[in-house]
Structure formats: C-alpha cells, structure tokens
Structure 1
Amino acid sequence: MTQNQNAVEKMNAFLSEAFAPWVQQLNIKAVEITESGAVFNVPASEALARTGGIVCGQALSAIADTIGVLTLIGHNNDDRIMTTVDMTTHFMRPVMTGDVEATVTLLSNGRRMATARIDIRQAGNPKVCAGATCAYAYVDG
C-alpha cells in the first residue's frame, strides 16, 4: 500500500471515529491525497436537498469544514486536535441533488494554525458551485 493510500484510509477512518453521527451521514469519502491538498466525493442524497432538489447550503458548509480537517489529518499524518476558528463560504451556483466532488488546497499549515481553500462542484462539471476558506487552530500546544 502506498503512502497516499495510507493517508486516504486514515482520513476515512478518522471521519468514522471522530466526527458526530450527523457528519458521518454526509457519506464523505476521501478519494485522493495530492501534493497540495486532497480530493473528496460525496454521493447523492435526498437528505441533503431542499425544495427544488438543490443541496442545502448548510450541508455544503459542513462538507467544506469537514474535508478541510480531514485533509490536514492526511497531510500531517497524525490526529492533532484542531478547531475551526474562521470560515467564509461563497455560494456561486446551485448544487443539484447528485454526486458532489470537492477539492481542498492547503494554503498554509503551520505549527499553530492552518488555512485551507475548498472548492465544491457538481460531479463531472468543472464549474465551482461553492467555495470556502477555512482557518483552523491546533489546540495541542
């Protein structure tokens, strides 16, 4: 098994072990760890839709925050305790009920803080539907 496969498995395991049950119900799956971040898939779910078959913004924000943390877990190769200290989300176009692809780019990953950029797309569509920038503080010293 490669180091990247190990990191993907670690991210998926951390999600099932450390996050609240309602976050686990989003069914987020780490697909790939990249040099600067990671790629995720969230399968279609009617539970995430609001009227009109649009994935609700609350779900997209939760996905963005969660995959930012998971990416840091994968890149740091540890389970450092962190907390979100700031998050800005922009919704540019609707995400219709269906599979969602998301990419994380780590902008910084320091000793005490980290910042990530998250882009969310409808699966198979190159246009960004929602984007978030999240800042995390490591609370372990």
Structure 2
Amino acid sequence: MSLLTTRETDEALEKMFAPFIRRMGLRTLAVEERGATFLLPGDMDFVHGGGVVCGQAIASAADTCAILALTAVNGRFRMVTTVDLTTHFIRPLKPVDAHVRIAIESNGKRMAYLRAEIAPAGSDKLAATATGAFMYLD
C-alpha cells in the first residue's frame, strides 16, 4: 500500500470532512510511514476572550489530523470514528501558525492508536498533546 501525497491528503480533507472543519484551514505538510505533520494556520476566529487559541479548536485539529494521518498512511480514506481523545493543554497557544505532528502507534484492521503534538511553527515548546483511539467502520 502506498502513502497518499500531501495534495491527496488535503483532497480527502476537502471531500470527507464537515464544513466547519474545512474552514480551519488545515494543510498537510508531510506524510511519513508512521505519521504526518499538518499546519494549523493562525486565525483570530479560534481565539477566545483570553487572547489565545481555544481548547476546542486545538482538540478538533488533533482529532482531524489524526484521521488524516491514517488516511495518508492507509493510502485511502476509511470510515472511522473517534473512540477516545484525551487532550492535555500544556501552555497557551497564541494565534500563530502551529504544527500538528501525528505519530501512529498502532494501525490494525479495526482499531488505530495515535499521538498528537501541537506546537507553534518553528518551536519545540508544546502547547498541547493528545492521544486517541480510533475504530474503523468498514
């Protein structure tokens, strides 16, 4: 099975995800055998009254990018549902471009387990991490 390209992964996002997720502007930066890296653009629409990106946007990005990483590694979109997503907010994320790095820990026939790390682009200081369990529905 061959990996999807970054363009093909972005096309899956446009075709398969809800409009509010597409409006986040996520883009695939790199695809590897065991994961992928995505861009979460800095956007004032994600900022709450405290001046930082809200946790809902961060968790949505982690969940979406995890499914996109599975899509890229599987070479196609598979219907999948999130069984569990645990997010840890480490430090505030200012409204700047951020990278979402996904590492696939296990990708079986029915279940997949992934880790996400979210940090400002160009920084190794994590703003959030997430771990998730995903069940394939096909």
- Greater mean alpha carbon deviation, residues 34-43 or residues 107-116: 34-43
Using the alignment, how far apart are the partners of 2:120 and 2:77 within structure 1? 30
- Rounded Cα–Cα distance in structure 2 between residues aligned with 1:48 and 1:73: 25
Choose which of 53, 57, 60 in structure 2 pairs with 1:59. 57
Of 51-60 and 106-115, the range deviating more from structure 2: 51-60
Unaligned runs of 5+ in 1: none
The alpha-carbon deviation at position 31 of structure 1 amounts to: 0.5
Give the share of equivalent positions with the same residue, in percent.
37
In the alignment, which residue of structure 1 is the partner of 2:16?
A: 18
Look up the match of 2:76: 78
Consecutive unaligned residues in structure 2, runs of 5 or more: none
- 1 CA distance for matches of 2:61 and 2:132? 12
Alignment check: 8 A CA contact 1:7 1:75 kept: no
Whole-Å separation in 1 of the counterparts to 2:108 and 2:93: 33
Q: Deviations over 1:81-101 (max 9, x none)?
A: 110011100000000011111
Among 97, 100, 107, the residue aligned to 1:99:
97
Equivalent pairs, count: 137
1:1-141 alignment to 2 at 5 Å?
6-140=4-138
RMSD over aligned Cα, in angstroms? 1.1
Q: Point out 4+ residue stretches in structure 1 off by more than 4 angstroms.
A: none
1:7 CA displacement: 2.4
Structure 1: how far apart are the matches of 2:51 and 2:123? 17
Write out per-residue CA displacement over residues 32-54 of structure 1, whole angstroms, 9 at most, x where no aligned residue.
01232001111110000012320
Q: What CA distance in whole angstroms lies between the structure 1 residues aligned with 2:98 and 2:6? A: 18
